[in-house]
Structure 1
């Protein structure tokens, strides 16, 4: 069957005219900058940086005063580990310090009064013997002059007097020495011993204090990692606290809107159930960009290039947010 060619001519002309406009439309689109309209809202989520509270010493967990979800204030007792050994060491060093201090006091005051009284009695006895020896010597001299005794007997009397006089002087010297404080070398040695005992006492006090921990910040208990009776290694967190000041927002800004942001800029956050918008301050803008799918670097796709931005709300407003909660961010 033959069809007249005249019926196809208008359709061919129409087809050519319609599709001949495509290059012109594309060119006009490129000249006008056919890019997506800059977004006014950015999607993100809330994130919390919890404070993990650990024990500096290892041991068995004996008490856990808080549970997950409890709100604590700074200084609240949180947990404690068994500390019998640390308490015994503290008692030992306390006694050692007291002993060294008592020895130093003894050196500073000399001998006690009863000890000095004993020496005084010995001096009195020695003085009496000296007096007796002196009297006997005078008698022996008189007898020897008359020829009743030998010279040897006189020498013995003189020797006895000399011996008794020397013993008296020795006891008097002992009494003077007993009233003096300890020698400088002994006193310095005891002072060093006292300093060492104090340092060891302070060390044991710290060790005992580290067995119990208090809350370093205020906020809700985010999680607990051990139960009473379990062994806790030194440095391992027992629980974590999420203070409102540590709740921040993370959102992603396209490359075309990055110039509108800077550290210190204000943004507004809205979320489901948050009520009125929440003001936040930008503190961090990532230096490295990332792509949203599809990962294709080209001039036409650079609107997919985004930068992560972090902003912090005021602590009083941060209590309205929950980590992981999606939010919508608007530039001020």
Structure 2
């Protein structure tokens, strides 16, 4: 008979462990009660538009960088292409200002210089001849003055042609080059902004996460800033506990608590990450069994395994579990 009763007790113990009941009447009550809370990432687009595509479904896992959805990008794509062309234009204008005149234009100026040199050689020879003729009383002084004037004219034309040829090889003025550089910088910034706007219309997952919900279907109009996909990364799941003020002195950030919840495997633990600096009365959701302290502190802890948000939990000190008084 004793063997039969032992078998029954073992079965009841296993059942109690499975459903999360305390074992033994002498076991201490939970240190605190609470629930699992998720900090959701609600992904939205900054601009309104029709939902073009939805790349995820509820309840699936997505990797970091995976596409989530896309808002209609026809207008944003056209604007990006326009700004790309504007940047190419600004860069071409800047390069043109730095190269001087074209080779054909330089050839025209070189020909003008050669013509001026030929004219100067002729006027120089004519001036020399008229000087000799006037010295021998063969020519009049008026013709000498005409030869001298022609020589001065041709020499000035040659100087002008040489100056024009030298200027043709020079780039634009420094002020023009600076203005062109600023135009290129402005066009580059506008293109970066357009590409960013285009990327914002097709966001990707910021981290590996569970797709908790999708709020719009393809073809629907999405207002600006309205979330389309709700994600829950595993590292953003935490426990929210309401600990009596009589027990708060024994808990500190970084400490470990033993966790029990309905249907959860044994051996769960959580690391305390935050303790509220002020007490509150009556937690917003009551998860306690029987009476509890009215004055409680909100405590947050990170579980060592994924848990479903909304699940009620109880916690004990780790040493209580080590003593075998909790499952």
TM-score bracket, shorter-length normalisation = 0.7 to 0.9
Tell me, in whole angstroms, the C-alpha distance in 2 between the residues paired with 1:135 and 1:219: 94
Among 207, 210, 214, the residue aligned to 1:224: 214
**CA–CA distance in 1 between the matches of 2:99 and 2:69?**
48
**1:277-319 CA deviation, whole Å, 9 max, x = no partner?**
3111233445323248xxxxxxxx88555544432202xx11x
86, 103, 106: which one aligns with 2:96: 106
Does the residue aligned with 1:77 lie in a helix, a strand or coil? coil
* Offset of residue 140 of structure 1: 4.5
In structure 2, relative to structure 1, the CA distance for the partners of 1:42 and 1:160 (3 Å cut) is: closer
Distance 1:303 1:142, change over 3 A: closer
Larger radius of gyration: 1
- Rounded to whole Å, the distance in 1 between the matches of 2:115 and 2:151 is 14
Name segments (4+ residues, structure 1) moved above 6 Å: none
Equivalent of 2:40 in 44, 50, 63: 50
Name the counterpart of 1:330: 316
Shift of 1:138: 4.3
Which stretch shows the higher mean deviation, 196-205 or 153-162?
Answer: 153-162
8 Å CA contact 2:31–2:243 kept in 1: the answer is no
SS in 1 for 2:68: strand
Equivalent residues of 2:30, 2:314 under 8 A apart: no
Instruction: Tell whether the 8 Å contact from 1:38 to 1:257 is kept in structure 2 after alignment.
Output: no
Please point out which of 155, 178, 202 is paired with 1:212.
202
| Cα 1:104–1:200 shift into 2, 3 Å | same
2:53–2:218 CA contact under 8 A, matched in 1? yes
The residue that corresponds to 1:313 in the other structure is 303
Distance 2:190 2:91 in 1: 15
Partner of 2:147: 157
Structure 2 match to 1:90: 80
Helix, strand or coil for the counterpart of 1:87?
Answer: helix
Sort the Cα spacing of 1:269 and 1:121 in 2 relative to 1 into closer, same or farther, 3 A.
same
Q: Report whether the alignment pairs 1:70 with 2:73.
A: no
Tell whether the 8 Å contact from 1:133 to 1:161 is kept in structure 2 after alignment: yes
Could you tell me the TM-score, scaled by structure 2's length? 0.76
5+ residue gaps in structure 2? 1-26, 284-290, 319-327
Q: Which residue of 1 aligns with 2:281?
A: 290
- Any conservation in 1 of the 2:120–2:158 contact (CA below 8 Å)? yes
Number of matched pairs:
284
Counterparts of 1:288 and 1:90, CA distance in 2: 54
Q: Could you tell me the TM-score, scaled by structure 1's length?
A: 0.75
Shift of 1:38: 6.7
Is the Cα contact below 8 Å between 2:280 and 2:297 reproduced in 1?
Answer: yes
Per-residue CA distance 1:56-110 (angstroms, 9 max, x = gap): 2332221111011110011111111122232233223333332332233233332
